[in-house]
Amino acid sequence: MRATRVRPTGIERSFGDHEMIVTKTDPRGVITYANDVFLRVSALTEAEAVGQPHNLIRHPDMPRAVFKLLWDVLAERREIFAYVLNLAADGAHYWVLAHVTPSYDGGGRVVGYHSNRRRPAPAAIAAVSDLYAILRAAEARHHHTPDAVAAGHQALQDVLAERGMAYDELVWSLTNGSGR
């Protein structure tokens, strides 16, 4: 197992337009499957990834409020699309447009989550980076984690209200190049 605290190097990694990162987790977010693209881009071996919490690749510049939204949406048994900055095990970072959806057993019970990630367009990364800077600034004003998450969530709601959009509309406007 590698060190648990990886320092970002500032080196950006990418992957091909034709490639897709795929992981599956259990209901707690522990990785149960990772494809070769994930392993290559995250600089992890299968043994290092499987069995670990998915936040293993969480970049410190990601607003906590985005993950709160993600888990809130998944708890409602809905899918979510989100731009995510990840941290590889070697300190490189990489952006993804993630699609996360619950997986169900035959009885309709959530047994985990499936995430497909595509390479986002540079313009979308620039736009979402501006948004995430606003959320991080709101979170940074609080030292107590729940207060920071609440502040980031409120900042996101304020941006959405200002733009007259729901979260999904914002993501798709960034994806389609109209959401600066």
* 10-62 per-position pLDDT tens digit: 999 999 999 999 999 999 999 999 999 999 999 999 999 999 999 999 999 99
Instruction: Quickly list DSSP for 44-87.
Output: --HHHHTTSBGGGGB-TTS-HHHHHHHHHHHHTT--EEEEEEEE
Percent of the chain surpassing pLDDT 70 = 96
For 100-112, b/e burial (b = at least 16 CB within 10 A) is: bbbeeeeeeeeeb
Q: Which two tokens stand for residue 58?
A: 């969480």
Q: Tens digits of per-residue pLDDT, 127-176? A: 999 999 999 999 999 999 999 999 999 999 999 999 999 999 999 999 88
Q: Let me know: does 66 contact 85? Beta carbons within 8 Å.
A: no
